Structure 1
Amino acid sequence: MLTVGDKFPSFKLAAVKAGPEGLGGPGKSFTEISSESDAGKWKIVFFWPKDFTFVCPTEIAAFAKLSGEFADRDTVVYGVSTDSEFVHLNWRVYNDDIRDLSIPMLADIKRELSAALGILDKEAGVPLRATFIVDPDGTIQWASVNGLNVGRNPQEVLRVLDALQTDELCPCNWTKGEEALDAQKLFEKAA
């Protein structure tokens, strides 16, 4: 699996648009998103195993509820699975939790991005619940992966993004607004 310090792979994927525009019907609901989209911004890229499942919409909806918080941090959020953009659209139409989704749903139908990241489940052939924070230069700054049956915590992703954007030393459980560690003071105290 690619990890911190690795370049996020180049990609170009079909996607269902974010927001109500995503429910405009075939021809109006789709866009293309690539590694060049939203240049200069931080990116949260999270993967789920399959559409029309049970844990996945809880995570997708939770990320969407925080989309304004991410946007305030000059960060875009992309959700990805190996289902097609047509399956994504149909799922949104019939699932109240994601109908008005404020983030795009990318379709990695050839599994190229998932394979390049090394996150395909060896038995099921679908993406694990992987999450990446990618800096504006395209470098992975945080990577996390859960198995197929356990959802992740988007609040924690936001907390880690806040810490990364400080460019400071942030202790365990640090949250935005708290002081970062001052290494010089810690050395002086230890001396």
Structure 2
Amino acid sequence: MLTVGQKLPSFNLQAVPAGQPKSPSEAFVEISDQSNQGKWLVLFAWPKDFTFVCPTEIAAFSALNEEFEDRDAQILGLSTDSEFVHLAWKRDHEDLRDLKFPMLSDIKRELSEALGILDVNEGVCLRATFIVDPEGIIRHVSVNDLSVGRNPQETLRILDALQTDELCPCNWQQGEEVLKVA
């Protein structure tokens, strides 16, 4: 699995954009590693659409989208489902209808393999989260078991800490003092 200090792999994937498409021609977009140049990326992966834990995480990230945007960060969701399955799930699940970030389709598993986040038994993405700086360098990685949801608020806290470029103690929150080396 890729880790802190490594470069985010290049990718170019089909995605379901944020919001609701106004026409069939707006239902899908291409998103690449170059689509959000100069921004922080929060890339998080989930195992499968139409499951139980996944929509709770996706909706929680969407609820915090404005806070991530305020920090010049773009959220990108990712699974190995097709863009058509993403769109159907988004239309079907009330909590996902007005999703505020794109859902990337990695049906060929190219990005998931490059990141090293495919579950060896299931062949689907692990619950992995990557925070990537504007230069494309991975600055944070976390991975949960398939059965355990993550905490998007903690991802936001870690992004805040990374953006200080300072030493941040345990449980540090935005606005608190950072550590100073004597």
Q: Shorter-chain TM-score: what band?
A: over 0.9
Map 1:38-187 to 2 at 5 A: 38-184=36-182
- How big is the shift at 1:103? 0.7
Unaligned runs of 5+ in 2: none
What secondary structure, in the 3-state scheme, does the structure 2 residue paired with 1:36 have? coil
Alpha-carbon separation, structure 1, partners of 2:3 and 2:19: 30
- Unaligned stretches of 5+ in structure 1? 185-191
Off by >6 Å, runs of 4+ in structure 1 = none
Q: What SS is found at the alignment partner of 2:26?
A: coil
Q: Tell me, in whole angstroms, the C-alpha distance in 2 between the residues paired with 1:44 and 1:126.
A: 19
The alignment's TM-score, normalised by the length of structure 1, stands at 0.94
- Aligned residue number for residue 10 of structure 1: 10
- Residue among 29, 35, 43 paired with 1:37: 35
Deviations 1:32-88 (A, max 9, x none): 000000100000000000000000000000000000000000000000000000000
Give the secondary structure class of the aligned counterpart of 1:79.
strand
RMSD: 0.7
Once the two structures are TM-superposed, the CA of residue 26 in structure 1 deviates from its matched residue by 3.3
Alignment partner of 1:151: what SS? coil
Cα offset, 1:20, TM superposition: 2.3
**Amino-acid identity (%):** 66
Return the TM-score normalized by structure 2: 0.98
Amino acid at match of 2:39: K
**Larger gyration radius, structure 1 or structure 2:** 1
